[in-house]
Amino acid sequence: MSKAAVILAAGAGTRMKSALPKVLHKVAGLPLLGHVIAALRAAGVERIVVVTSPAGEAVRDYARALGCESAVQHQQLGTGHAAASAKEALADFTGTLLVINGDMPLVTGDTIAECLAAGARTGLSLLAFEPKDPGSYGRVLLTPDGYLNRIVEYKDATVSERAATLCNAGCYAADAERFFHWASRLTNHNAQKEYYLTDVPLLAREEGVKCAVALADEIAVTGVNSRAELAEAERKYQDRMRTRLLADGVTMTAPETVFFAHDTVVENDVEIEPFVVIGPGVTVKSGARLRSHSHLEGATVASGAIIGPFARLRPGARIGEDVHIGNFVEVKNTVLEKGAKANHLTYLGDARVGAGANIGAGTITCNYDGFTKAVTEIGAGAFIGSDTALVAPVKIGEGAITAAGSVITQDVAPDALAIARGVLTEKPGWAKAFRERKRTEQK
Ligand code: UD1
Ligand code: MG
- For 332-367, write each residue's pLDDT tens digit: 999 999 999 999 999 999 999 999 999 999 999 999
Ligand 1 pocket member 137 (CB < 6 A): yes
- 3-state SS class at 227: helix
Assess contact for 287 and 306: CB atoms under 8 A. no
282 CA from centroid of ligand 1 (Å): 34
pLDDT band at 1 (very low <50, low <70, confident <90, very high): confident
Ligand number nearest CA of 12 is 1
pLDDT at position 56 is: 96
Ligand number nearest CA of 222 is 1
Q: State the closest ligand 1 atom to the C-alpha of 76, by its place in the atom list counted from 1.
A: 23
Beta strands in 333-384 (DSSP E): 334-336, 341-349, 351-353, 358-359, 364-366, 376-378, 383-384
Give which of 141, 90, 137, 115 is closest to 36, Cα–Cα: 115
Ligand 1 pocket member 170 (CB < 6 A): yes
Q: State the closest ligand 1 atom to the C-alpha of 78, by its place in the atom list counted from 1.
A: 23
The identity of residue 85, as a single letter, is S
Nearest-angstrom CA–CA distance, 364 and 341: 14
What tens digit of pLDDT does each residue of 270-282 get? 999 999 999 999 9
Q: Buried b vs exposed e over 5-44: b needs ≥16 C-beta within 10 Å?
A: bbbbbbbebeebeeeebbbbbbbbbbbbbbbbbbbbbebe
| Alpha-carbon distances of 204 from 78, 85, 87, 181, 195, rounded to whole Å | 19, 19, 17, 9, 15
pLDDT at position 165 is: 95
Ligand 1 pocket member 360 (CB < 6 A): no
Ligand 1 pocket member 168 (CB < 6 A): yes
The identity of residue 29, as a single letter, is G
393 CA from centroid of ligand 2 (Å): 53
What tens digit of pLDDT does each residue of 88-140 get? 999 999 999 999 999 999 999 999 999 999 999 999 999 999 999 999 999 99
Mean pLDDT of 374-379: 98
Ligand number nearest CA of 153 is 1
Q: How many CB atoms lie under 10 A from the CB of residue 262? A: 17
Helix boundaries (H) for 51-165: 57-65, 79-84, 109-122, 159-162
**Whole-number CA gyration radius for the chain:** 30
DSSP 8-state assignment for residue 119: H
Active site residues: 344
Assess contact for 146 and 185: CB atoms under 8 A. no
Nearest-angstrom CA–CA distance, 2 and 43: 12
Q: Identify residues whose C-beta is under 5 A from ligand 2, the ion.
A: 223, 225
Is 260's pLDDT higher than 80? yes
Is 443's pLDDT higher than 90? no
Ligand 1 pocket member 79 (CB < 6 A): yes
Nearest-angstrom CA–CA distance, 329 and 334: 12
Nearest-angstrom CA–CA distance, 391 and 364: 8
Residue nearest to atom 35 of ligand 1 (CA): 225
Nearest-angstrom CA–CA distance, 99 and 119: 12
Q: At what angle do helices 109-122 and 32-42 cross, to 10 degrees?
A: 60
Nearest-angstrom CA–CA distance, 284 and 298: 11
The identity of residue 283, as a single letter, is T
79 CA from centroid of ligand 1 (Å): 5
pLDDT at position 416 is: 98
If residue 36 lies in a helix (H) or strand (E), which one and from where to where? helix 32-42
pLDDT at position 429 is: 98
Ligand 1 pocket member 151 (CB < 6 A): yes
227 CA from centroid of ligand 2 (Å): 12
pLDDT at position 12 is: 84
Mean pLDDT of 360-378: 97
Q: State the closest ligand 1 atom to the C-alpha of 168, by its place in the atom list counted from 1.
A: 12
Mean pLDDT of the chain: 97
Q: State the closest ligand 1 atom to the C-alpha of 13, by its place in the atom list counted from 1.
A: 26
Residue 85: HSE in the Cβ half-sphere, 13 Å Cα cutoff: 26
Pocket test for ligand 1, best of 14, 60, 101, 182 (most atoms within 8 A of CB): 101
pLDDT band at 44 (very low <50, low <70, confident <90, very high): very high
Ligand 1 pocket member 59 (CB < 6 A): no
Pairing of strands 47-52, 3-8: parallel
Residue nearest to atom 8 of ligand 1 (CA): 196
What tens digit of pLDDT does each residue of 413-424 get? 999 999 999 999
Beta strands in 199-337 (DSSP E): 212-215, 251-252, 265-266, 271-272, 277-278, 283-284, 289-290, 295-296, 300-301, 306-307, 311-313, 317-319, 324-332, 334-336
pLDDT at position 246 is: 98
Mean pLDDT of 66-71: 98
Counting residues of the chain whose pLDDT is more than 90, the rounded percentage is: 99
pLDDT band at 166 (very low <50, low <70, confident <90, very high): very high
Ligand 1 pocket member 167 (CB < 6 A): yes
What tens digit of pLDDT does each residue of 397-406 get? 999 999 999 9
